[in-house]
A and B are shown apart, each in its own frame.
Chain A
Amino acid sequence: MTPGKSPAGHFSILYFAAASTFTAKSTEHLLAPVQAGKLFDRLEQKYPGIKDKVLSSCAVTVNLEYIDLDGDDAPNVDLVIKEGDEVAIIPPVSSG
């Protein structure tokens, strides 16, 4: 999983654990910009079912920083994901 530099007008997204299983990808590039609060809807269009089955419990990071998207009034719903950003979808892993 090496995302590489995202092409012009895109951001890169990394899928970990269950998100990687669901999308059958570890990384890809998506069109920028996108509002953080709309990211899950965008992914749901591309991967029907992913919102309920995976994303609802995931941590989301932008450029290695955790963003809080829990609830409509969450602190980071208005954050804009820009060209060249690196987003990561991190489901909780609970086994051990």
Chain B
Amino acid sequence: MAPPPVLILESLRQQIASCESQLQDLRRQLAEAEHQQRAAQQHAHDRLRTSAPAPFGDPLTHDMRYGIHDDFRSEVFAALSQGEEEQAGEEEQRPPGRRWPLDAVEYRRYGRQLIMPEVGLQGQLRLKNAAVLIIGMGGLGCPAAAYLAGAGVGTIGLVDGDVVEESNLHRQILHSTARVGMTKVESAMVALNSLNPNVKLVSHTTRLSPETALSTMQPYDLVLDCTDNPASRYLISDTCVLLGKTLVSASALRTDGQLMVLNNPPMPPGSTSGGPCYRCVFPKPPPPESVVSCGDGGILGPVVGIMGVLQALEAIKVLTRNSNPSIPETPPDPPSLLIFSAYSSPMFRSIRLRTRKAKCAACSAQASVTPEALNSGSLDYVQFCGVINPVDALSPNERISVNNYAKIRLDVNPFTGTEPSKDSHILVDVREKVEFDLCNVEGSVNVPFSTVTSTRSSGPNGTSNGQQGNEEQSWVSELKSYPDKPIFVLCRRGNDSQITVKKMRELGLDLGGQRWIGDIKGGLNAWRDSVDPEFPEY
């Protein structure tokens, strides 16, 4: 029998992993339900006991319809509450019948951090009793979750609405090749559970929204913002202020990262002794067209990894602060913004932040962000941060589809009978040089979009700025030297190409309408979909 194709193996593995994570989720739900049931029974028992005094003196003849006899009850409940110290509240409280505050496996597993004065027994119990919410299971969330689970944080909630893609794997270290296509939350749960099965994991497999933010974040002690867009950063920060929770916020792009511990200490809005929030530091969102994703801008794995690891570190510091009774208590660190820049020297710069902003929309006495506004959906974070509409800058006769362009390249012209020729026109690819060098269409010339946008069209007085380099000019004169050839402009998705066509007109490259200049609709993505399936996707 021939061996089963790789795809089947892959699919089976995925299904097993998915079932395992569902099973785990069911176990968690069962444990919660059992706990609630026990609590309800105890409540009912207490009620019955006050209304119906035990009719018999001998515990062995006790009527079990009214619950267990008092003499047994404490023992039974002690047995039932084994392993549920987190509900007990007081960290010093040792479960009855237990000799040591931690299990033997816990002493062994956490031994290397337990012997540090910064953690110690009390610090470990704090971690064990803590619930941390990690929003975003990507490049930041994966390393952050791994270290927090490793450290023995009792409950970790995971929020993400995406599924694992192959292009995530170079940096999102909890996911794996076999789990491509699985939700990021389920994939992370599989990895975290195998790392430390003692951690209770709670899945939230949807994107956070203003309507769900308060209820999702309420049960947690600390929140980590590991998301990837401005709207969610403001939403998470605002919600943390409203709920009085400290927020560890980080971000990364290309070779740079930022880290802040916000709302620390988490005082109510209006209190000047609370730590600043995200709005205090960045009151205005960046213009939407300037926001670059990792997919478009790129990201180096270790850069985002460092930022995620730092988030886990700050979370551990916040949770275990002042847990060692032999070290004098200290106030929280003054607020700071840590800037990481992998190719700078020094790589780290720490900026002292100010206290809460007097007019902050979220945490000041004049705050306009309220729980009611959040729940009602009247706070539109997407609107606040702005939306980019797809570029639609050109008229239909300035554009050509990939299929028609392919005909120009490949087919004999049915009317004139002329042979196709790549020399009949100029194909300009406006991706940045590094992308052009990865793969390009034969015969295309590269004029990077950054060069296009920084080239100034001569103003009415014809003066050009002294900054203008020779390189920027040379591409214009080069194109002008072939005045009879139409210009086709190509980019990755079909947006930059349209802007370039407009710019070329402004620069006079259309020779007053004598020469056709247009963009290839949908760019190289469409080219791959419709014409050349082997053109690399990256």
Contacts of A54 in B (CB 8 A): 286, 290
Q: Does B136 contact A (CB under 8 A)?
A: yes
> Is the CB of B205 closer than 8 A to any CB of chain A?
no
- Chain A residues whose CB sits within 8 angstroms of the CB of B226 once the complex forms: 96
B287 contacts A1, C-beta separation under 8 Å = no
The answer to whether B286 and A18 touch across the interface, beta carbons within 8 angstroms, is yes
Q: Contact between A96 and B304 (Cβ–Cβ < 8 Å)? A: yes
**Which residues from A are CB-within-8-Å of B233?**
92, 94
Which A residues between 41 and 96 are near B, CB-CB below 8 angstroms?
A: 52-54, 56-57, 59, 61, 64-66, 68, 70-71, 75, 88, 90-96
A17 at the interface (CB under 8 A from B): yes
State A64–B289 Cα separation when bound (angstroms): 28
- Is B353 on the interface with A (CB-CB < 8 A)? yes
How far does the alpha carbon of A96 sit from the alpha carbon of B229 in the complex, in Å? 8
Query: What is the distance, in angstroms, from A91's C-beta to the closest C-beta of chain B?
Result: 6
The answer to whether A26 has its CB under 8 Å from any CB of chain B is yes
Q: Could you tell me if A59 and B286 are in contact, using CB atoms closer than 8 angstroms?
A: no
The answer to whether A93 touches B253 (Cβ under 8 A) is yes
Is A16 in contact with B307, judged by CB distance below 8 angstroms? no
| Residue interface mask B280-296, A partner, CB < 8 A = 1 | 01111111011111100
Is B281 a contact of A94 with CB atoms below 8 Å?
no
Q: In the complex, which residues 1-60 of chain A have their Cβ closer than 8 Å to any Cβ of chain B?
A: 1-2, 16-18, 24, 26, 52-54, 56-57, 59
The digit string for B214-233, where 1 denotes a CB below 8 A from any CB of A, is: 00000000000011111001
Assembled-state Cα–Cα distance A91/B299 (Å): 17
A70 touches B228 (CB 8 A): no
The answer to whether B251 touches A66, judged by C-beta atoms less than 8 angstroms apart, is no
Q: List 8 A-B contacts (CB under 8 A).
A: A17-B254, A56-B284, A57-B286, A59-B351, A66-B281, A66-B351, A90-B351, A96-B308
> Nearest chain A CB to B201's CB is how many angstroms away?
21
Contact at B341–A1, with CB atoms within 8 Å?
Answer: yes
Q: Are A94 and B229 in contact (CB under 8 A)?
A: yes
Q: Is the CB of B292 within 8 A of A95?
A: yes
Find chain B residues with CB under 8 A from A53 CB. Answer: 287, 289-290
Bound CA–CA A70/B360 (angstroms): 11
Q: How far is the CA of A59 from the CA of B338 in the complex (A)?
A: 12
Q: What is the chain A residue whose CB lies nearest that of B287?
A: A53
Known: A64-B350, A95-B252, A96-B250. 19 other contacts (CB 8 A): A1-B343, A24-B454, A26-B344, A52-B287, A57-B282, A61-B351, A64-B351, A65-B351, A70-B284, A90-B258, A92-B251, A92-B258, A94-B229, A94-B233, A95-B294, A96-B138, A96-B294, A96-B304, A96-B308
Top 7 A-B pairs, shortest CB-CB distance: A1-B344, A57-B286, A96-B140, A93-B251, A92-B282, A94-B230, A95-B228
Bound-state CA distance A26–B251 (Å) is: 19
B256 lies within 8 A of A17 (CB): yes
Measured CB to CB, the closest approach of chain B to A44, in angstroms, equals 13
Say yes or no: A95-B229 contact (C-beta < 8 A), given A1-B344, A2-B345, A88-B349.
Answer: yes
Interface size class for chain B? Answer: 35 or more
- B343 contact set on A, CB distance < 8 A: 1
- Between B256, B290, B337, the greatest number of chain A beta carbons within 10 A of the residue's beta carbon is seen for B290
B257 contact set on A, CB distance < 8 A: 93
State how many angstroms separate the Cβ of B247 from the closest Cβ of chain A: 14
A12 to chain B, nearest CB (A): 13
Query: By the criterion CB–CB under 8 Å, are B287 and A70 in contact?
Result: no
Judge whether B139 is part of the interface by a CB distance below 8 angstroms.
yes
Complex: how many Å from CA A42 to CA B498?
32
Chain A CB within 8 A of B94 CB: no
B354 in the interface, Cβ–Cβ < 8 Å? Answer: yes
Interface members, chain B 218-272 (any A CB < 8 Å): 226-230, 233, 250-254, 256-258
**Do the beta carbons of B352 and A66 come within 8 Å of each other?**
yes
B341 touches A94 (CB 8 A): no
Give Cα A24–Cα B472 distance, bound, in whole angstroms: 14
Taking CB atoms, residues of chain A closer than 8 Å to B126 are: none
Question: Is the CB of B5 closer than 8 A to any CB of chain A?
Answer: no
Give every chain B residue within 8 A of A64 (Cβ-Cβ): 349-352
Asked whether any CB of chain A lies closer than 8 Å to the CB of B339, the reply is: yes
**Residues of B contacting A66 in the complex (Cβ-Cβ under 8 angstroms):** 281, 337, 351-354
B residues 168-201 touching A (CB-CB < 8 Å)? none
Say whether B252 contacts A93, CB under 8 Å.
yes
- Residues of chain A with a CB closer than 8 A to B256's CB: 16-17, 93
- Do the beta carbons of B345 and A96 come within 8 Å of each other? no
Looking at the assembled complex, report how far the CB atom of B161 sits from the nearest CB atom of chain A, in whole angstroms.
15
Q: How far is B307's CA from A57's CA once the two chains are assembled, in angstroms?
A: 22
